[in-house]
């Protein structure tokens, strides 16, 4: 501040989006979705009007603190019978809302930027975090084809990602993800353990105290 130089945040803003390698096959594209964020949130509102956010139950019987819905040809669900992808919303019995072209386009461009051209996800899981909501360390392995990456888009209140290794016991690294940040997880990082710390109290002008995360997956 007192040196008269711009702060780190201001420099980041001036520099525009930046690419941070996280691990082999994993990159963080800071601010990649910033210009589209308001439109993404409006689309999430339209999706949730048809397929409401709900707290799924794990196979072990625990209510997840993160609320979820989906769009796309198939959506991710969890219940006492297990984790799986399905074409219909079990809550309404109707197909999941279609994936908006805005979502599809963003996911494809982010994947290409990260070195995964031709990414055409069928599934978009939409996670909604309220203060205190978290995702414990897990692997994403319910997708039929693990050769494709997962693209994740963070919106609203910032969160801390935990990014571990291929063994649950590997100590995870932590990094902050902000509104508009996009992460791509593929190649050797596709089966890495990961999670999200309990969301801290915060405020974002577009989401209030909430955080949203979109994860795009090639599920079939
Ligand atoms: C690391 N969601 O829905 S993806 C999930 O913020 C999930 O809601 C996170 O983990 C969230 O399953 C954002 C973070 C992520 C996703 C896939 C990965 C990290 C990954 C695959 C391999 C390694
Ligand atoms: Fe995950």
Domain spans of the chain, in order of start:
12-217
Q: What is the DSSP letter of 179?
A: T
Q: Is the CB of 150 under 6 A from ligand 1?
A: yes
Whose CA is closest to 115, among 24, 220, 180? 24
Ligand 1 mutation pick, 68, 140, 151, 214, max ligand atoms within 8 A of CB = 140
Q: What is the pLDDT of residue 53?
A: 98
Question: 121 and 112 in contact (C-beta within 8 Å)?
Answer: no
- Ligand showing the shortest atom-to-Cα distance for residue 152: 1
| Ligand 2 midpoint to CA 185 (Å) | 10
Question: 193 and 166 in contact (C-beta within 8 Å)?
Answer: yes
Q: Is the CB of 68 under 6 A from ligand 1?
A: no
Question: 50 and 94 in contact (C-beta within 8 Å)?
Answer: yes
Sign of CA dihedral 43, 47, 53, 59: negative
| Ligand 1 midpoint to CA 152 (Å) | 7
Which residue's alpha carbon is at the smallest distance from atom 11 of ligand 1? 213
Q: Per the structure block, which two tokens stand in for 36?
A: 């589209």
Q: Is the CB of 151 under 6 A from ligand 1?
A: no
CATH 2.60.120.590, applies to 12-217: yes
Q: What is the pLDDT of residue 15?
A: 55
Whole-number Å distance between alpha carbons of 38 and 179: 10
pLDDT tens-digit profile, the chain (220 residues): 445 555 444 444 455 678 888 999 999 999 999 999 999 999 999 999 999 999 999 999 999 999 999 999 999 999 999 999 999 999 999 999 999 999 999 999 999 999 999 999 999 999 999 999 999 999 999 999 899 999 999 999 999 999 999 999 999 999 999 999 999 999 999 999 999 999 999 999 999 999 999 999 999 9
Q: What are the tens digits of pLDDT across the range 168-193? A: 999 999 999 999 999 999 999 999 99
């Amino acid at each position: 501040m007192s040196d008269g130089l711009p702060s780190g945040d201001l420099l980041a803003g001036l520099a525009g989006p930046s690419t941070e390698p996280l691990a082999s096959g994993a990159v963080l594209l800071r601010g990649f979705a910033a210009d589209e964020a308001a439109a993404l949130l409006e689309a999430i509102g339209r999706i949730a009007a048809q397929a409401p956010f709900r707290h799924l139950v794990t196979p072990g019987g625990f209510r997840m603190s993160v609320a979820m819905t989906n769009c796309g040809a198939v959506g991710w669900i969890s219940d006492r019978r297990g984790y799986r992808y399905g074409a219909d919303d079990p809550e309404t019995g109707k197909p999941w809302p279609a994936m908006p072209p805005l979502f599809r386009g963003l996911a494809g461009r982010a994947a290409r930027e990260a070195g995964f051209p031709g990414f055409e996800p069928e599934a978009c899981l939409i996670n909604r975090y309220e203060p205190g909501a978290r995702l414990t360390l897990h692997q994403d392995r319910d997708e039929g084809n693990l050769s494709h990456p997962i693209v994740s888009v963070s919106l609203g209140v910032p969160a801390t990602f935990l990014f571990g290794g291929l063994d649950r016991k590997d100590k995870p690294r932590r990094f902050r993800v902000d509104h508009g940040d996009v992460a791509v997880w593929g190649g050797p990082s596709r089966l890495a353990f990961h999670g999200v710390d309990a969301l801290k109290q915060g405020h974002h002008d577009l989401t209030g105290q909430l955080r949203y995360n979109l994860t795009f997956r090639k599920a079939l």
